[in-house]
Amino acid sequence: MKVLGVDTSGQTGGVAILERNTVLAEVAVTSAQTHAKRIMLTVDTTLGMAGLTIADCDAFAVTTGPGSFTGLRIGISTVKGLAFATNKPVTGVSTLDALAYQFPLFSHLICPVLDARKGQIYTALYEYASSMKWERLIGDCAAEPRQWLKQIQRPCLFVGDGAFVYGELIRETLRSLACFAPPYLNTVRASVVASIGMKQILNGQVADVGRLVPHYIRKSDAEIKLGRGGYPGAIS
């Protein structure tokens, strides 16, 4: 099975093609340019590097959030279009899962952290079980960092851009219990998205393409304004 994985949840976007346990090609780009302007070029480049066409892909996987509202919409819309065009299955992958699953040899807690702005983080809590299996102790949520950290009483690995933004607070609060991933692992890898997606699809976790939507966790500014009777405006 060949799975094309896509991530557009943050400033760094990526595309990868995974065949069984082999990464055939992977491209990651960090740019101020919007994902809308580079996602299809990245897909085409990755396919070209692997010597494949989109028809050669057996399935698709895409991060559904949390993350950038606009970025998530672009990535999901792109993958939905590819799935409709090829009539191939698609599955959605948690951004936080993709960050945590990069560390199968860390036997303590793993806490992916994304900067949600407005004094909040998107986060979850995991523990590696065995045989490439993780136990999710706390599911995806938005939280105030200081309150969130109070519940962590064991050694914990922090990963994600929020680990950098709130690094000082984490160190002050947890001291020797806090471990940090190296900076180059603080972004989602599309190959990990493809790997998780492959397992989900083989387990029958296939999404209804028409109903695949971003998992924002909290309401966007537009939804909040709309709820108050204001004009929606642009979504960040």
Q: Is 60 left (phi over 0), alpha (psi -120 to 50) or beta?
A: beta
What's the token pair of residue 29?
């780009």
Decide if pLDDT at 232 tops 90: no
Give the pLDDT of residue 133.
84
Give the pLDDT of residue 236.
27
161: closest CA among 125, 112, 231? 112
Instruction: Tell me the average pLDDT of the chain.
Output: 92
Fold observed for domain 2-95+187-227: Nucleotidyltransferase; domain 5 (3.30.420)
pTM for this structure?
0.91
Fold observed for domain 103-180: Nucleotidyltransferase; domain 5 (3.30.420)
Q: What are the residue ranges of CATH 3.30.420.40 in the chain? A: 2-95+187-227, 103-180
- 65 with 216: CB under 8 angstroms? yes
Residue-wise pLDDT for 67-108, tens only, equals 999 999 999 999 999 999 999 999 999 999 999 999 988 989
